[in-house]
Amino acid sequence: MAVTDSIRSKLSTVPHKPGVYLMKDRFGTVIYVGKARDLRRRVSQYFHPSRRLGWDLKFNALVEAIHDFDIHVVKSEAESLLLEGRLIKEFRPRYNISFRDDKRFLLLKVNLNDPIPRFTLTRLRNDEGARYFGPFASSGALRRTLNLVRQRFNLRGCRALTPAESDYKHCLYAHLKVCTAPCIGNVPLEQYRMQVTAACDFLDGQCAEMSAEVEAAMRKAAAALDFEKAAQLRDLLQDLKRTTQRTGKFERVPYKLPLALDPERDLRELAALLGLEQPPERIEGFDISNISGTFMVASMVAFRNGRPDRAGYRRFRMKDVPGQDDFACMAETIRRRYSRLLRDLRSGPAKPDEDSGEASPQELQQLIREVGEAARRGPVRASQITERPNARLPDLILIDGGKGQLNAAVAELTALGLAGIPIIGLAKEFEEIHRPGERKPLRLSHDTGALKLLQRVRDESHRFANTYNAQLRLKRISESLLDEFPGIGEARKKALLKRFGSIQRMRQATLDELAAVPGFGGRAAAELKAFLAARTARVGDREG
C-alpha cells in the first residue's frame, strides 16, 4: 500500500505519548486496535517500506487494508492497556485475537453496608452500593497489594459474610494477629470500619507514607548486602505504584457502522450477480447466537437502500428449541418473524396489550393464499402491500451460515407460502454465497462492492445477536447476588429462585418464609436476610 498524502500528514501530527491507535479500512471499519508507549514511533512502523517486505502474511494483509487511522492519547501505559482491551471488545476487529472474549480486568470491591466489610476481587460492576477500585491492568500486582493492605490495616480475609464466634478457633488470620477479629468482639465494629475506611483512602492514592517506608526498608536492605530482600521490597514498591496509580475513565468512542462508498452501485451489482429483477430496496439479515446451548437468541437487522434501518431491527429468544441446534433456531426465527409479519400486513400491528405470538393456523392459510395470488401477478414489493416501511416483506433475505441454515430457512418460507422471496446464505470461512437449488456456492472477489454490502449486513446481524446474548448473560450475573452469599450452592439457589422468583421478593420475605425453603434453617435464613438487607442501599433492583 502506498502511503497517501492524508496518512503522511496525519502521521506528522501524532505525538510521542502513550495511547491507543485504531486502523480502519476504506469503509471506516475498525480492523485493528493496538496500544503503544510511543504512538508516533509505533504507528509510523506500519507504513515503513521495510516492514512490508517481511514474512508475516497477516501483517502484510493488515497494512494493505489500512485506509485511515485514529489515535487516543492517555496518561500512562497501564491506561493504554485498559483502553485497548475495552475497544477490542467493543469493535471486535478482524486482525485482533487477544481481548476478544468476555473476560474483563479485575476490580477490587468492598461493600461498606455489610455487617463486617471485606475486600473481594470481581470482574463485574453492580449497582448495589459497593465501592470499586480499578480496573487494574496487572492482576498479580493487585493481589500482592491487597495482601499488603490486609496486613497493614489488620483486615479480615475470610469469605464468610458474618463470621460466627465458634469459627474463631479455626481462624488463622486472628491467630497470626493479621486481623483484629471484630466478629468475636476483639475490637468494636466502629473501629473496624475506620480500618476499612483507611484502607480505602490508601487505595485512592493516599499511600505516600507507606511507599516511603518500603523504599527506606529497601535501601537499608541493600546497604546491608541483603539483596534478595531488597529485590522483594523493590517489587513490592512497584506493585504499590501500579495499583494505586490513578487511571482515567474512558468514554465510548463514537464510531458508527461503516457505510458503502456508493450503496446504489453496490445494490445494482448485487442484483445483477444474484439475478434479481431490480436492486433489493430492503434486505433483512438473520444470525443465531448461543454459548453451549445457553441463552439461545437470534437477531434480525434491516437495511434500506444499502444503509442500516435500526428501527426495523428485531431480536428473538428461542422458545421451542430444547438443545443446541442452530438449524432449528434459524427455522424458529424465520417462522416467528414472517408469520407475525403476515398477520401485521393483514390486520395492522398488534397493540401493546395484545398477544404478540404468531398468527393462528386459519389466519396463516388465508394469508398464504393472499400472498400467493399477489406473487403470481408479479414480484411482491413493499409498495404493493403496505405503506409502513417496517411492516413489509423484504426484497432479499440474508442468512448468516451455509447450506444447513439456508435450507432450514427456505423450508419455513415455503410452508408460509413465501418461497418467492429471494434468500441466500453467506458462509464466513470463504465468504461463499449459497443459493437455494444451487450445488456450488458463488464466490465473489473480496473487492466487490456487492460482497462488501452483504458482509456489512451479516456483520451487523452478528453484532446485534451477540449484544443481546451478552445482555442476557450480564443480566443473569447481575441478578445473581446470591452467588456472593457464602456457602450457597446451586440447589439452594434454585430453590430460593423457584420459591420467590426474584431478589426483590426475597428481601420482602419474612424469616419464617425464608426458613421454609428446602435447605435453609433458622440461622441460614437470618444470615441471608442480613445479607440482602446490606445490599438495599442507593439503587433499586434490576430483577423482576
What share of the chain in percent tops pLDDT 90? 17
Range of weakest confidence among 20-29, 178-187, 191-200, 244-253: 244-253
Range of weakest confidence among 14-23, 102-111, 367-376, 470-479: 367-376
Residues 389 and 516 in one domain: no
Domain count, the chain: 4
pLDDT of residue 413: 93
Contact between 117 and 54 under an 8 Å Cβ cutoff? The reply is no
How many Å apart are CA 499 and CA 492, to the nearest integer? 11
Residues 235 and 276 in one domain: no
pLDDT of residue 135: 77
Looking at 182, 215, 244, the residue that finishes a domain is 244
Residues 322 and 215 in one domain: no
E strands, 115-222, are 119-122, 131-136
User: Is residue 359 predicted with pLDDT exceeding 70?
Assistant: no
pLDDT of residue 278: 92
The pLDDT-based confidence of 435 (bands split at 50, 70, 90) is very high
From the number of C-beta atoms within 10 Å of its C-beta (0-12, 13-18, 19+), residue 256 rates as exposed
Q: Is residue 47 part of a domain?
A: yes
Residues 321 and 401 in one domain: yes
Contact between 46 and 6 under an 8 Å Cβ cutoff? The reply is no
E strands, 292-434, are 294-304, 307-308, 314-317, 396-400, 423-427, 432-434
The pLDDT-based confidence of 304 (bands split at 50, 70, 90) is very high
pLDDT of residue 29: 81
Residues 390 and 308 in one domain: yes
404 forms beta bridges with none
447: DSSP letter? T
Residues 305 and 410 in one domain: yes
Looking at 31, 59, 91, the residue that finishes a domain is 91
How many Å apart are CA 139 and CA 369, to the nearest integer? 64
Q: Is residue 467 part of a domain?
A: no
Residues 343 and 383 in one domain: yes
**Boundaries of domain holding 268:** 263-460
Contact between 469 and 295 under an 8 Å Cβ cutoff? The reply is yes
Range of weakest confidence among 66-80, 193-207, 238-252: 238-252
Looking at 60, 91, 122, the residue that finishes a domain is 91
Residues 270 and 416 in one domain: yes
Residues 308 and 400 in one domain: yes
Residues 233 and 309 in one domain: no
How many Å apart are CA 168 and CA 179, to the nearest integer? 11
Cα angle 159, 165, 167 (rounded to 5 degrees) comes to 50
Q: What is the CATH number of the domain that holds 296?
A: 3.30.420.340
Q: Is residue 97 part of a domain?
A: no
pLDDT of residue 163: 64
CB contact set of 26 (below 8 Å; sequence gap of 6+): 67, 261
The pLDDT-based confidence of 299 (bands split at 50, 70, 90) is very high
Q: Is residue 272 part of a domain?
A: yes
535: DSSP letter? T
Residues 356 and 415 in one domain: yes
Cα angle 21, 24, 27 (rounded to 5 degrees) comes to 160
How many Å apart are CA 314 and CA 32, to the nearest integer? 29
User: Is residue 51 predicted with pLDDT exceeding 50?
Assistant: yes
